[in-house]
């Protein structure tokens, strides 16, 4: 099968491209800078450029779409152009080129309302309740993708939750840097149970969805390790793996949410060079439970995670040493 993977220069996209190539497929990657994944061919371009998208998709049988603007803050027009416009153009191009399979890589945030998630599955994406521009535009994009599901184009959405592992410059790097500089508090009691996903497991689940899309198309699936742990324990595990001291101070959850709202207001007027230190969405994620029922995911994808959280943390520690 000839497969296009968009967004392969990122941690997850690169792992997905490598997993699909290792399964024996002919993989082409599409992103703005070289991904250089062994066994794949790079095509450079942006999902906001329809001509480039057409050229990348020509002659392929399937596409795994990961390219997105991922940030806690930023210009809403950029989120709209990349996450919504890029997905819309990709779907149009896929139809024009006779592509048969589309795996849309989404996020559980598309159905998150700010309340605790306790053992739920993949509720429908809802842009009206999604928190922040990333979640909102990904919700719109997921709905566009699933609406395109048909006899000629089979579509499935996969939502990996809080992906982390060695080489992660987003979640892990930010946790470690803030812990190192004493800017990482525990919100609330730290007892809220959260699911996360080790990078190898997220990649293998998406690769499994590609293989199974003809049988399960039209559906969404949340992917996690299936090992919910208290958020304070998970943060401490990542910090210890990196050789830094875990958080030692607490901030009440309601205070963090209020502070996050204030930071967002300031960021809209005077954005900083890095991610904002706190947002309402981030405060909610760090202080409320969010773990998911994995039975449908594992049954339909015919997949189980191969790397436990403890093994993942051990691998992370090796990478830092």
pLDDT digits (tens, 9 = 90+) for 165-178: 999 988 898 889 88
Catalytic residues: 134
Q: Higher confidence at residue 74 or residue 286?
A: 74
Instruction: Give the residue-averaged pLDDT of 293-312.
Output: 97
Q: Is pLDDT above 60 for 267?
A: no
pLDDT digits (tens, 9 = 90+) for 25-59: 999 999 999 989 999 999 999 999 999 999 999 99
Q: What is the pLDDT of residue 281?
A: 63
Weakest mean pLDDT among 89-93, 106-110, 262-266: 262-266
- Domains, in order of start, for the chain: 2-161+197-225+291-306 (3.40.50.720)
Q: Is pLDDT above 80 for 149?
A: yes
In whole angstroms, how large is the CA radius of gyration of the chain?
19
Q: Is pLDDT above 80 for 255?
A: no
Instruction: Give percent of the chain with pLDDT exceeding 90.
Output: 69
Interatomic CA distance for residues 181 and 199, integer angstroms: 26
């Amino acid at each position: 099968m000839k497969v296009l993977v968009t967004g392969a220069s990122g941690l997850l996209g690169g792992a997905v491209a490598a997993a699909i190539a290792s399964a024996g497929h002919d993989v082409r990657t599409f992103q703005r800078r070289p991904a250089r994944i062994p066994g794949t061919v790079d095509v450079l371009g942006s999902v906001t450029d329809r001509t480039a998208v057409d050229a990348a998709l020509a002659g392929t049988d399937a596409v795994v779409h990961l390219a997105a603007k991922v940030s806690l803050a930023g210009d809403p027009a950029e989120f709209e152009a990349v996450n919504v416009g890029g997905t819309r153009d990709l779907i149009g191009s896929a139809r024009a080129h006779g592509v048969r399979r589309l795996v849309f890589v989404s996020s559980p945030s598309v159905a998150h309302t700010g309340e605790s998630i306790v053992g739920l599955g993949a509720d429908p994406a809802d842009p009206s309740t999604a928190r922040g521009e990333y979640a909102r535009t990904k919700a719109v994009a997921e709905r566009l993708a699933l609406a395109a599901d048909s006899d000629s184009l089979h579509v499935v959405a996969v939502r990996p939750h809080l992906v982390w592992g060695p080489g992660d410059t987003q979640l892990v790097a930010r946790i470690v840097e803030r812990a190192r500089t004493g800017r990482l508090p525990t919100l609330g009691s730290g007892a809220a149970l959260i699911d996360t996903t080790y990078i190898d497991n997220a990649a293998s689940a998406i690769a499994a969805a590609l293989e199974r899309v003809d049988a399960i198309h039209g559906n969404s699936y949340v992917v996690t390790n299936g090992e919910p742990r208290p958020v304070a324990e998970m943060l401490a595990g990542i910090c210890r793996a990196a050789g830094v001291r875990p958080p030692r101070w607490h901030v009440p959850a309601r205070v963090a949410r209020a502070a996050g709202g204030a930071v967002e207001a300031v960021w809209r007027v005077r954005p900083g060079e890095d991610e904002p230190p706190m947002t309402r969405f981030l405060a909610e994620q760090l202080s409320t439970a969010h773990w998911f029922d994995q039975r449908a995911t594992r049954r339909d994808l015919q997949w189980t995670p191969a790397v436990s959280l403890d093994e993942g943390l051990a691998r992370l520690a090796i990478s830092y040493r």
